[in-house]
Amino acid sequence: MSTKKTPVYIAGIGILSPLGCGVDATAQKLRENGHAIAPLRSDVFHIKQQPPLPVGQVFDIPDSSLPRTHRLTIAAAKQAMKGYSNSPDAVIIGTTTGGILSTEELLIQKEATPEEYRYHGLTTVAEELADSLNCTGPALTVSTACSSGTVAICMALKMLQSGEAEWVLAGGADSLCRLTYYGFHSLQLVDPDGSKPLHTNRKGMSVAEGAGLLLLTTVKPKRSPGQILGCGLTCDAYHPASPHPEGEGAFRAMRNAINDAGSNARTIDYINLHGTGTIDNDLAESKAIRAIFANPPPLSSIKGATGHSLAASGALEAAISAICLQEGFLPANTGCSVPDPELQLTPISAPLNQPVSTILSNSFGFGGNNACLIISKADSPTAPCRETEYVPLTIMGKACITGAGHTRDSLETFSKLAAISGTLDLKTISAGLPARKVRRLKRFSRIALALAAAAKEDSGLERSPHSVFMGSAWGALSETYDFIDKLQNSDEKFPSPIDFVGSVHNSAAGQIAIMHGTKDTNITSSGGDYSFEQALLAADLFLDHNSPSAFVLAADEAHEQFSPLLDPSISKSTPLADGGGGFYLTRQAVPNRISIQLKYYRKQIDDSLDTLIATLNKTNSSLNDCQMILAGIPAAHAEAGEQQLDDFMKKTGLDIPVIHYRKFTGEFASASGVAAVMAAHLLEIGAVEPDKSILVLGFGKYLSAMELARQ
């Protein structure tokens, strides 16, 4: 049986970009064919290597004690929420930099107080935004490099269509920082004269900053600039930093978005190009477009005017697409006076007054992460969808890495109620991985690759899964620290291109895709101590009959310098621990296999425990069936978490074993991924009755509940 998808409307738009702040200022600059690329100002950050490169800088950012990315995000949110007094049900932010600019300054000052680094984590952007809006629902963070903002909107679309929310604020934000300024320059991807997308002698991009947010809803507003009709996510599985030369992943992302919208190529009136101005990206995108469109519609990239604002770029361009729908004009492809004949595309040369109804907006990023949106005028017909019964995600294979070793050694040690904390040496982590393919990879990526390989082996299946959903609180600490350290020690003369490429949060998920050929959705979530839960939530939203299987995992690495500074649960005296856990999951019911479901994930407020208990009581009698609890209480929230757990047990009246899993795993953010593997193992060995379940509960700033049960 098929039915129509739930319409998802744009109710509000928030924009801060180098072109200006707000819808009106942005539209005016675009109509004037304004250009906002200029040499880096010293008030953003001071550089030692002169002259400064041209970048896209945002002016008039509201002042506060928060880092620059956070301030950009909150300012854009106020614009998007104007006229709406209620809090959104969820916020979803794509970002790659988080608080790194502030961290860079602190490291230069040799600041040693961990509290000063409290805004470093990517998740703090979404969390601060949620706090400013009194949003008590999920505050989700995705980091898929330059497609992050678009992926966040795609996730919001899925959440709204599934009925999980009615109002979601979603988009992306990034600030300028030394890491990206020098990082892209080290890859020789920056044009010293400013970006010229699609130009015959283009030489690269211009790094920029900004924030773009959309307030999305299933409740039809009185006035709406448009709808999100569909989305498409793919992964090239080709190279950590370069696109597939034929644009294969970009082609599939555009095709999937058009199909998801129930449209066809002929209905697209305008294409908002990713168009970075780099030789390879523009060429790959042009090939993908020509493979879909026999006669491409009007198209342009705005990055010649704004620069490339990384995670914010796709969200800014989605917002600008909505403005184009509302005002009936198309922006020019600034900087391109002579189109490259090899591209076989003719971009819009000057702003064009032309009504449009349907727009395709493209975003592509490091790791081969591709995301496309179909944005149309309000009241456009929505696509049909298959009406199917919800099927929990089923575990086909599992894996974990802890200080005790790989899966078997870790679980055998845990079964003896002995500690599995600590850190494995790199050689042991990498056992079984192809030496040539991992020789340049550092700790974080090797842990992730080892988890994926072991989960596939445990599944006994020959075929790799379709997608990758990964969680990590801190990402590649080794590469990030080494890049900044080398930059400082060389007076900013010798940034490391290898460390820069490896420093992005989605680097490990991209490596998994390359090694296993997983070419569908590839999302990296960064939710602090709840990063695995956020990855599981994303998998639950996106896995369907078209893409039914995925690696779902979480990992974090211990770092001698960074971990005590960044992770509030780790002090200088805390023994370092790291690792992760994950699964090969499928959206299919398999008899006698174990299912895993995220039952609850919300911010802790006064009545959260009651809501958690009510949710568990009404979903398949989760509390009645539960015979064991694995409880995760980060050290930073020990007092509050213990009280939450105590209140939970009293209110439910449960008298069952409770295992404080961090006492076994040690303190690291992705420990809940290991706990989920522990729970699956306990079910497999019959530690609870065959028809009973185990709950993995998270306490602290957020409350979470995962249920594992035999089908």
Residue 620: predicted pLDDT? 62
Which own/partner contact pairs does 253-257 have at CB distance under 8 Å and 24+ positions apart?
Answer: 253/362, 253/364, 253/370, 253/371, 253/372, 254/288, 254/289, 254/292, 254/360, 254/362, 254/372, 255/292, 256/231, 256/232, 256/372, 257/230, 257/231, 257/232, 257/360, 257/372, 257/373, 257/374
Give dist(CA 471, CA 48) in Å, integer: 35
Amino acid, res. 118: R
Quick: pLDDT tens for 65-118.
999 999 999 999 999 999 999 999 999 999 999 999 999 999 999 999 999 999
Average pLDDT of the segment spanning 264-281: 97
Detail the DSSP E strand segments found in 225-330: 226-235, 270-272, 299-300, 329-330
Specify whether the CB–CB gap between 216 and 160 falls below 8 A: yes
Residue 388 has pLDDT above 90, yes or no: no
Which residues contact residue 428 at a Cβ distance below 8 angstroms, ignoring those fewer than 6 apart? 405, 406
Specify whether the CB–CB gap between 312 and 149 falls below 8 A: yes
Residue 420: is it exposed, middle or buried by C-beta count within 10 angstroms (0-12/13-18/19+)?
Answer: buried
CA distances for 158 relative to 7, 421, 453, 538, 706, angstroms: 11, 37, 29, 9, 20
> Which two tokens mark 326?
């509302």
Average pLDDT of the segment spanning 210-222: 96
Give dist(CA 43, CA 702) in Å, integer: 36
DSSP 8-state code for residue 313 = H
Quick: pLDDT tens for 480-513.
999 999 999 999 999 999 999 999 999 999 999 9
Residue 382 pLDDT grade (very low, low, confident, very high; cuts 50, 70, 90): confident
CA count, 13 A, side-chain hemisphere, 255: 13
Of 211, 190, 201, 146, nearest in space to 39 by CA: 190
Give dist(CA 585, CA 590) in Å, integer: 11
Residue 1 has pLDDT above 60, yes or no: no
DSSP code string of 107-126 = HHTT---GGGGTT-STHHHH
Spell out the CATH class of 393-710: alpha beta
DSSP code string of 522-558 = EEEE--GGGHHHHHHHHHHHH--SSS-EEEEEEEE--
Residue 619: predicted pLDDT? 66
Quick: pLDDT tens for 34-67.
999 999 999 899 999 999 999 999 998 999 999 9
Residue 289 pLDDT grade (very low, low, confident, very high; cuts 50, 70, 90): very high
Amino acid, res. 602: R
Average pLDDT of the segment spanning 287-298: 97
Give dist(CA 387, CA 586) in Å, integer: 19
By 3-state DSSP, what share of the chain in percent is helix, strand and coil, each rounded to 5? 35, 25, 40
Average pLDDT of the segment spanning 167-184: 98
Which residues contact residue 166 at a Cβ distance below 8 angstroms, ignoring those fewer than 6 apart? 89, 160, 217, 218, 219
Which H/E stretch holds residue 565? helix 562-566
Give dist(CA 244, CA 249) in Å, integer: 7
Q: Give the position of tokens 């919800």.
A: 390
Residue 2 has pLDDT above 60, yes or no: no
Q: Give the position of tokens 């008039």.
A: 60
Give dist(CA 93, CA 127) in Å, integer: 9
Quick: pLDDT tens for 137-164.
999 999 999 999 999 999 999 999 999 9
Residue 491: is it exposed, middle or buried by C-beta count within 10 angstroms (0-12/13-18/19+)?
Answer: exposed
Which H/E stretch holds residue 507? helix 507-516
Residue 378: predicted pLDDT? 86
Of 391, 388, 396, nearest in space to 588 by CA: 391
2-386 matches 393-710 in fold? yes
Q: Which CATH superfamily is domain 2-386 in?
A: Thiolase/Chalcone synthase (3.40.47.10)
Detail the DSSP E strand segments found in 567-665: 579-586, 594-603, 626-632, 658-660
Mean pLDDT in the chain? Answer: 96
Q: Give the position of tokens 């904390």.
A: 421
Residue 621 has pLDDT above 50, yes or no: yes
- SS (HEC) of 218-237: CCCCCCCCEEEEEEEEEECC
Residue 622: predicted pLDDT? 79
pLDDT above 90 coverage of the chain, percent: 95
Quick: pLDDT tens for 463-476.
999 999 999 999 99
Instruction: Give the start-to-end residue ranges of the domains of the chain.
Output: 2-386, 393-710
Residue 227 has pLDDT above 70, yes or no: yes
> Which two tokens mark 545?
């009959």
